[in-house]
Amino acid sequence: MASNNRLFEDFARVAQGAAGALVGLRDELETRIKDQVDRVLSRMNLVRREEFEAVQAMAAKARREQEALTARLDALEGRTGGAARKAGSGRTRRSAGARGKSR
């Protein structure tokens, strides 16, 4: 009986050692896979979520401001009868010939 008990104790010790080794192996594999994924993602030139959300918020704010300015311009043009836009918007177009000569 004592030899069977000792055999079970030895077997339990070996199993515990193997379990510990497997945990270490799993940790090592997770670390290596994570490093590899990080390397691949860094080469893909991706944007982090925080950066994306910041730019998205800036774009939404710019759109709101642009819409407000458009409404304000329409209101101002309504008061003057739209003469300012029809007479010239302050932008000048160069002819195709002038464009080619200036370069």
Question: The pTM is what?
Answer: 0.42
Cα 16–Cα 18–Cα 19 angle in degrees, nearest 5 = 65
The tens digit of pLDDT for each residue in 6-63 reads: 888 888 888 888 888 888 999 999 999 999 998 998 889 888 899 999 999 999 999 9
**Whole-angstrom distance, CA of residue 7 vs CA of residue 98:** 99
Domain boundaries defined on the chain: 1-46, 47-78
**Whole-angstrom distance, CA of residue 27 vs CA of residue 36:** 14
**Whole-angstrom distance, CA of residue 39 vs CA of residue 61:** 34
* Structure tokens that stand for 16 in this block: 């515990």
Higher pLDDT residue, 103 or 90? 90
The tens digit of pLDDT for each residue in 55-98 reads: 999 999 999 999 999 999 999 998 876 555 555 555 444 444 44
